[in-house]
Amino acid sequence: MTLPHPNTDQISLPIVLGVLGDPTRLAIVRYLASKEGVALNCSQFLDLGSKTNLSYHLAKLREAGVTRAEVVGTNRMITLRRADLDARFPGLLDSVIAAAGDDPALPAVGGHDIELPA
């Protein structure tokens, strides 16, 4: 099974900004950025809510072109599409992640192992 993803040139700034405007989705992106290059299983984000709610947020991120989801058996492995986002909107992702920083309004993901980029 292959999930649909927009091509790099189809990624739209208003859609990306709208998707990143949600605290749960921004927390997911911040966590993915802290684990750069590592595909994470959906279960890594279960502390953000129910499976149904999480599935909704991950789908929105994928449809916007912010993440890539690959089906591996019964799992969905999630990665950040940093190269595509940087090619389309240079510096945007780093700026958003830096601005989110340690924002206490964002839900916690994965306990206390988030390492923010310097």
Type of residue numbered 70 = E
In-domain check, residue 73? yes
**Pairing assessment for the beta strands 40-41 and 67-72 based on DSSP bridges:** unpaired
pTM of the model: 0.86
In-domain check, residue 53? yes
Report how many domains make up the chain.
1
For residue 83, the model assigns a pLDDT of: 95
In-domain check, residue 106? no
In-domain check, residue 46? yes
User: Which CATH number belongs to the domain containing residue 24 in this structure?
Assistant: 1.10.10.10
Of residues 51, 60, 70, the one with CA closest to residue 20: 60
> Is residue 111 very low, low, confident or very high in pLDDT (cuts 50, 70, 90)?
low
Q: Mind listing the pLDDT tens digit for each residue in 27-39?
A: 999 999 989 889 9
